[in-house]
Amino acid sequence: MSATEGKTTRVFDKSKVTVIFVLGGPGAGKGTQCANLVNDFGFCHLSAGDLLRAEQNREGSEYGEMIRTYIKEGQIVPMEVTIKLLENAMKATVAESRSGEGWADGKGRFLIDGFPRKMDQAVKFDDEVCESSLVLFFTTTEEEMSKRLLKRGETSGREDDNEESIKKRFHVYKEQTMPVIEHYTKLHKVASIDATATIEEVHQKAKAVVEEVFSGQASGNVTA
């Protein structure tokens, strides 16, 4: 897309940078599977949630208190903040190294976890930062996700790993994130993976999907 077509030029070219979004309900195991895929393919793993939590605790941040309030209430932080944090993290990775983490065969590889969570985020990122190649969508039941989150909350120290926040997060997820999945499904960019199975079984399914992306064979929506 060029500026002459009436839209801004993207920050990153899809032919040089691969972006895979990782979505799923709270507690679906996104972070665990991302760590495995980083080992498999050398991705730079960016967690939207981790970036927001780091920003809220950064001394002097103009967004800190706002981010803290949104996270505590289980709400989605305004897209301009999240997208700018992701863009800055991607630029920093590019500046630091074109041969280490996040790079293979001279091309960038980014696994973006927990994003986009709303349609406006999806559209703005694809139009202005980099067109995404695929959405890995991890699915399981609310009962299973709630059990995992409460267990994690025993040690995570996260403000949103409690029963009240979890209920709010599920509501927001169904209301605002599922339309994102539907959007990318229509574009044939979704690979749905049942995350109820063991970590290794889910890992192998996700690995096979990503291998198809890099081999140029991925086409259409996939259910694993």
Query: Which among 32, 208, 38, 202 has a CA at the least distance from the CA of 114?
Result: 32
Parallel, antiparallel or unpaired: strands 17-24 and 222-223: unpaired
Evaluate if pTM is beyond 0.85: no
pLDDT for res 4:
40
pLDDT for res 51:
94
pLDDT by position in tens, the chain (length 224) = 444 444 568 999 999 999 999 998 777 788 899 999 999 999 999 999 899 989 998 998 889 999 999 888 878 889 999 999 999 999 998 887 655 667 766 689 999 998 998 999 999 999 999 999 999 999 877 677 778 777 777 677 666 667 777 777 777 778 888 899 999 999 999 999 998 889 899 999 999 999 999 887 455 566 65
CB atoms within 10 A of CB 88: 12
pLDDT for res 5:
46
Query: Contact 222/53 with Cβ under 8 angstroms?
Result: no
pLDDT for res 25:
77
Query: Contact 184/121 with Cβ under 8 angstroms?
Result: no
- Output the CA–CA distances (angstroms, integers) from residue 114 to 23, 56, 60, in the order listed: 5, 17, 25
pLDDT for res 3:
40
CA distance 62 to 55: 9
DSSP state of 196: T
Phi, psi (rounded to 5 degrees) for 104: -155, 135
CA quadruple 120, 209, 45, 103: dihedral, nearest 10: -110
The tally of domains found in the chain comes to 1
CA distance 52 to 66: 10
Q: Which residues contact 104 (CB under 8 A, 6 or more apart)?
A: 41, 42
Is residue 139 helix, strand or coil?
A: strand
Dihedral sign, CA of 46, 48, 54, 60? positive
One DSSP character per residue, 44-80 reads EEEEHHHHHHHHHTSTT-SSHHHHHHHHHTTPPPPHH
Q: Residue 103: which CATH number?
A: 3.40.50.300
pLDDT for res 184:
96
Parallel, antiparallel or unpaired: strands 107-113 and 17-24: parallel
State the residue range of the domain holding 76. Answer: 3-223
